[in-house]
Structure 1
């Protein structure tokens, strides 16, 4: 299988590394509008061919699939071009900047019979996979309540670099540079984390968004710092469970941390995931009477990269699919609407 890496920024290095490590996969080329960047990327990963545009790469065409690692606002036009050229697509999240675009991408991929997956990276967390298995087995009983959070601290810490001077962070704070803020950037992850772990999609949402002052006139160079920094959401799942979800970039002391707690009538599970460790805790059976929590050991699971290759080879689409990501995008869009209307909306 031959795969093209479209976009050669920071996250593209993860795609190249993971795909290259899979037996039988070849990195066929790199694409970027910045010639120096694509040249450096190709040298790092031993890729022979570089292209300055997707059109040029598609004209060459000697590859099976595309890993789309372009900025959020570019996902739609580039994915549509790739699909219409008959290429399978593994797209970074969010799939698109709005529900309508995401649905067009989904329907096109399905109509053409092409493999389509979105890199919701926290599906790679083995503890989340095991928690979902426990919930779906009925061990916690009917799910009644859940709480989920995604905490980052790069607006108050330089552990990942200085956002005031680096474009890789500044664009995430600017609507005109294609960002939907924390809601679009990491909200998509925690919504998927919560729904997947609880084994149910969303039915109702209400969200509040906040953008805090970060610089004089909330502007640095060409970047207007107008994208949301924090959100707090109440949500109900199709299974009836009620819960809260929140995310922020102002969580001092938390570099990159996701948590999910799922409470059922017979027991509970909790997933803690950080950049350096993950834990799964359960309170089941007789332990619910003493409030005793037990850490559960889990085995590694196949990554999204591995499963995309498996899907292309088998011809059978796997999750997380474009359609799933489109459903999440609908919730993200509604979150913005509910913030404006100050009222709950049905999904």
Structure 2
């Protein structure tokens, strides 16, 4: 598979390391509007072909698929251009800035018949995959309650860099620079983590979002720091379970931690993922009576990168697809509306109201006439 890289930032470096490790994948060209960044990236990875515009790369055309690692607000236009050229697309999350754009991309990809996948990276977590299989196998019984959290601390720690001075972080705090805050950035990950692990879909949402004061006047240079830093969300699932989902960049002591707890009638599971390790614990069978939790060993799973390559080779669409990511984007969009309107919103389609034609009603005699008839009616046995 000949792969084009569109965008050469830090996430592109991570992706290319994964793709280069897959047999049969060749990184044939890179695209970026910044010539210095493009040169450094291409030199580092030994990529010969370099383009300063996607149009030029498409005109060249000697590639089968593209990894779209552009900034969030560029995903829509760049992916549509690649799809129109008949190229398979592996897009970084979130798919788009809103549900309407995400669905336009979905419809275009499906109509063109190209493989389309979104890099929801935590699908690569083996304990999550194994937990889902246990849920689908019925080992937990009916799912009743779900808890999910995504905790980061880069607003109180410099472990990842200093957001006060580095634009690679500042844009994530500003809606005018294309950010939907922690909800749009990592919210899509934890929503997918929760729904995928519990093997169900979200159909109701009520959310609260908050951007805390971080600088005098709420601004650093051209960046208005108004994107949400924390969110809490209560959700309803299609399988009838209730759930609580939350995320924050103020989670002191948690560099990057995802946690999911799934509670069923016959057992419970807990998945924890950190940069250094992942684990799955369960409380099942007789252990329920003593609330004893045990570690569960899990096998390795294919990564998103490996499954995208497989999908292109076989022509078979695999998850997470554009359509799935669009559905998650709808949850995010409704969460923003929910915060503004302070009410729960549903993702379920509206109920169709069928008009029943008026039926003829027999004319009723008045009450006086009925009473008179009763008074004059013969009593049984009377002549």
Q: TM class by shorter-chain length?
A: over 0.9
- 1:298 CA drift (Å): 1.1
Cα distance in 2 between the residues matched to 1:206 and 1:336: 9
Give the equivalent residue in structure 2 for 1:203.
Answer: 203
- 1:224 CA drift (Å): 0.9
1:190-220 per-residue CA deviation (whole Å, 9 max, x = no partner) reads: 0000000000001100000000010011111
1:198-256 per-residue CA deviation (whole Å, 9 max, x = no partner) reads: 00001100000000010011111111111110000000100000010000000000000
DSSP 3-state at the match of 1:138: coil
- 1:277 CA drift (Å): 0.6
Pairing of 1:1-347 with structure 2 (within 5 A): 1-347=1-347
DSSP 3-state at the match of 1:151: strand
Cα distance in 1 between the residues matched to 2:71 and 2:174: 12
Cα distance in 1 between the residues matched to 2:7 and 2:154: 23
DSSP 3-state at the match of 2:161: coil
DSSP 3-state at the match of 2:254: coil
Number of aligned positions between the proteins: 347
- 1:37 CA drift (Å): 0.2
1:278-325 per-residue CA deviation (whole Å, 9 max, x = no partner) reads: 110000111100101010111211000000000000000000000000
DSSP 3-state at the match of 2:141: coil
- 1:138 CA drift (Å): 0.5
Cα distance in 1 between the residues matched to 2:58 and 2:166: 31
Question: What residue ranges of structure 1 are gaps of 5+ in the alignment?
Answer: none
- TM-score under structure 2 length normalisation: 0.90
DSSP 3-state at the match of 1:16: helix
DSSP 3-state at the match of 1:312: helix
User: Runs of 4+ in structure 1 displaced over 4 angstroms?
Assistant: none
Cα distance in 2 between the residues matched to 1:76 and 1:241: 33
1:39-76 per-residue CA deviation (whole Å, 9 max, x = no partner) reads: 00011111111111111111111000110001110000
Cα distance in 2 between the residues matched to 1:168 and 1:326: 25
DSSP 3-state at the match of 2:231: strand
DSSP 3-state at the match of 1:165: coil
- State the superposition RMSD in angstroms: 0.5
- CA radius of gyration, larger in: 2
Cα distance in 2 between the residues matched to 1:88 and 1:261: 35
1:243-278 per-residue CA deviation (whole Å, 9 max, x = no partner) reads: 100000000000000000000000000000001111
Cα distance in 2 between the residues matched to 1:81 and 1:74: 11
Cα distance in 1 between the residues matched to 2:46 and 2:69: 18
Question: What residue ranges of structure 2 are gaps of 5+ in the alignment?
Answer: 348-383
DSSP 3-state at the match of 2:334: helix
Cα distance in 1 between the residues matched to 2:241 and 2:46: 49
DSSP 3-state at the match of 1:97: coil
Give the equivalent residue in structure 1 for 2:357.
Answer: none
